[in-house]
Structures are given as structure tokens and as C-alpha cells.
A = this chain, B = another copy of it.
């Protein structure tokens, strides 16, 4: 499967990964959430090559995750800001960071703290059921075909292969 085919799949994960599923894109978005907006700042902070940065920013703008707006004319300078669609990726990043905090930190502990402005505490994300509010773990969820299901194969055979 090629990159271009990924967003054709009847799978929300595949479609999401067609936008953010590479090494650089989520790091760029991390910096967006930290307030970075300019090409040169991304480049310096990430150590990314200009070529790849240009490509990823363009893709993110095409997918309406970022928008480009001029912050000065003559000479025109653009900056990149998160759209609402982009802001919705915050939970994704928070979840990835949370896993890293739990499983990939060294003895020094988590590099950054997330402060919930509402209650003022350092928090970690907790996932709950939208319907009953109970905390969710992998074992609490069962998957069923939804309206957009299109595959001929069953979701999973009983052979657990």
C-alpha cells in the first residue's frame, strides 16, 4: 500500500495516518501547540530539512489542519496556525505524550508537565466513555461494524489468527 492509497481505506485510523502518520508531522504539530508559527522556527527547533518541512506544511495546509496567513506584506511573510480541525489533534498528541511519559522516560522523569488551567493541577489525560463516563481501558471495548463499513472480510475470524 502506498501513501496515496491510505486515505481511500475504509478505516479511520488509516485515514488519520494519511495526514499525520509520519515521523515529522506530529513533531511539527507538537511545536504548533507550543505556539510556534514560522518556517524558520520550526526548522531551527526540529532540525528538519527545509525540503521536508516545506512538504509537510503544505500537506497540513491542504488537509486544513494548519492555515497559512500573512503576518506582514512587502515582503510577504506567512505564518502557520492550527485550525479547529488541527486543534482537535491535541488529544492525539496528549495521548502519545502520556504513553511516552509512562513507558519511555528515563530516571529524570517526564520532560514537560501539562497544567489544567481549570483546576490548576499537573494532569495526565484520562480517557472515559462518552456515554457513561467510566474510565476506559483496552479490555473494556468491543468493536463492531459501523455505517461506513465496506469490507467483505469479517472484522475478525474466530480463529484469532
Report the count of interface residues on A (CB-CB < 8 A): 101
Cβ-defined contact, A132 with B118, below 8 A = yes
The DSSP consensus for interface residues of chain A is: mixed
Cβ-defined contact, A26 with B33, below 8 A = no
Cβ-defined contact, A103 with B88, below 8 A = yes
- A70 within 8 Å of B by Cβ? no
Among the listed B104, B109, B145, B153, which residue makes an inter-chain contact with A147, where contact means beta carbons less than 8 Å apart?
B109
Q: How many copies does the complex hold?
A: 2
With known contacts A14-B27, A27-B17, A137-B87, A48–B112 Cβ distance under 8 A: no
A 98-129 binary contact with B (CB < 8 Å = 1; else 0):
11111111101111111111110111111111
- A72 within 8 Å of B by Cβ? no
Cβ-defined contact, A48 with B160, below 8 A = no
Cβ-defined contact, B146 with A117, below 8 A = no
